[in-house]
Every structure is written in structure tokens, then in C-alpha cells.
Amino acid sequence: MSQPLSFVVLGATGGIGSELCRRLAAKGARLTIGGRNELKLAELAAELGAHAYVVDATQGDQVDRLFDEAIRVNGIIHGVAHCVGSLLLKPAHLTSDAEWSATLETNLTSAFFTVRAAARTMMRTGGSVVLISSAVSQIGLANHEALAAAKAGIIGLMLSAAATYAPQGLRFNCVAPGLVRTPLTARLTGSESMLRASMRRHPLRRIGEPVDVVSAIEWLLDPAQSWVTGVVIPVDGGLSRILPSTRVSKDLQADGDEAAPYS
């Protein structure tokens, strides 16, 4: 019988993190989960039979202890998912110093501490580390300056780590979601008018659900993907790669054998 896989999930109580934990647990994985909300963390751990630790991922020593506990309990870590993040929608001229610092700390600093802890504990055994960036790191969206900078930094961090630790068989990859329906984005998805506008912006005409992102994370965590490292997978309904279709009047459509540019 093969050994159950062991995973560390940070930001485990969020919309994406909790869905990932449930999917991994359903496959028999051994989980070490971390988050700041002690009550939600305890409830999730009880539901899944996971080992839970209250962790502020912006504090390097706390992240290190989480990884140490995962090794102590399970003996090995096969994969890590960093699902920590925040949302700030403000133009640069209205963003305070405190908001800028908090956005970097929550997103980029926590990702760096996760990468560092993973490297220290997994260099001898190899494995997979998945970070969550965002579609806003790939395209220019208004009022996302601080968040876009932090999420782009995560991609740079991932690429460098992938190059550094490839000889040890330690893989680093990113997923870059568009707008996903989670508690964090409730103020964007809770309004019918804002929801419709967001759906129109995504070429597939819907916003994402946690399972959309989790499916990509699971794929990257799977040891079967042992030849995949240094990639960013857009999970964004086409937002960062293609333009939504636009209806045009018939007199502007091409005639004969030439295809119309839009439909």
C-alpha cells in the first residue's frame, strides 16, 4: 500500500484554502493546516482529521514552526499550498502607507516565508509548492496598483525559487485566478450589478468558484506532475489572455470569405 501524501496548507480557512483541504482530505491525504482564525481552524481540523496550528503567515518564525510540526507529525511533506491573501481595490494616490505595507506583508511576505520554510524542510525529499498570484499581475486593471505589485512579486519569487531548487526536485508553481466567489470577495460578488459587470469582463461570462482554482492547485501538487515547475497557470475565465466577444452591427461585419472580427 502506498504511503498517504502529506500536505501543508496555509490560509486554510479561506474560501480557496478550505476547499483545497476538503478535496485533499477526501483523497486520504494527511494535512497540516495553518491560519489566523483559531475557531474556524479548529472546526476545519475536526471535520477533516487534520493537524491545525494558529499561524500568522507574515511572521517567519511562526511559519517555520508550522513546517517543523508537519515534519514532526507526518515525517515528510510532499506538497505545500500558500492560500494566504488580501484584497485592496484603490488607486495609488488614495492608498495609505499602512495599506501598502499590509498588502505586501499579507501577500508577498507570507509567500516568501512559505517558500523559505519549504526549501529548508523539503530540499532532501523534493516535492511541490504552489503559490497563488492573480490575474491582476498579468494585465493592467485600474485601482489594483498595490495588489498587482504584490501578486506580480509572488510570480517573481516563484520563478527564482523554481530555478534555485530544481536540482533538488523541489518544484514551485503559481496559479493566477480571476475574480473568485469567496468570503474575501463578497463585497464584489454580493451586488447584482457588480456581479454582472464582473461576469461580462471574463470571456467565459462567469466568475470563478473555489473549485476552479483548487482543481489547478491539486494538479500541480500531484507527484505525477514531477516534470512541471516554474509555470503560472491562469485560472481566470480567459480574463488575462483573450478579449470578451463584442456584438457589432451587421454593416461592420466582414463579407464573403473574410471572417468577422467579433461575434
The reply to whether 124 falls in a domain is yes
What whole-number percentage of the chain has pLDDT above 70? 90
Instruction: Give the Å distances, CA to CA, from 22 to 9, 43, 52, 126, 145.
Output: 11, 12, 14, 24, 33
pLDDT of residue 259: 36
Is 157 inside any structural domain? yes
CATH number at residue 124: 3.40.50.720
Per-residue pLDDT at 1: 43
Query: Could you tell me if residue 11 is inside a domain?
Result: yes
Four-point Cα dihedral 123, 127, 129, 135, nearest 10: 130
pLDDT, residue 179, reads: 83
Residue 244 has pLDDT above 80, yes or no: no
- The answer, yes or no, to whether residue 34 has pLDDT greater than 80, is yes
pLDDT tens profile 91-136: 999 999 999 999 999 999 999 999 999 999 999 999 999 999 998 8
Residue 77 lies in a domain: yes
Is 1 within the bounds of a domain?
Answer: no
Assess if residue 261 is contained within a domain. no
- For 24, the domain range is 6-252
CA distance 68 to 5: 17
Give the global pTM: 0.89
The confidence score (pLDDT) of residue 247 equals: 63
Flag the least confident range among 111-115, 142-146, 187-191, 209-213: 187-191
Taking 50 as the threshold, does the pLDDT of residue 263 lie above it?
Answer: no
Is residue 101 one of the residues assigned to a domain?
yes
Whole-number average pLDDT of the chain: 89
Overall domain count for the chain: 1
Residue 185 falls inside a structural domain: yes
Backbone dihedral angles phi then psi of residue 241, each to the nearest 5 degrees: -125, -30
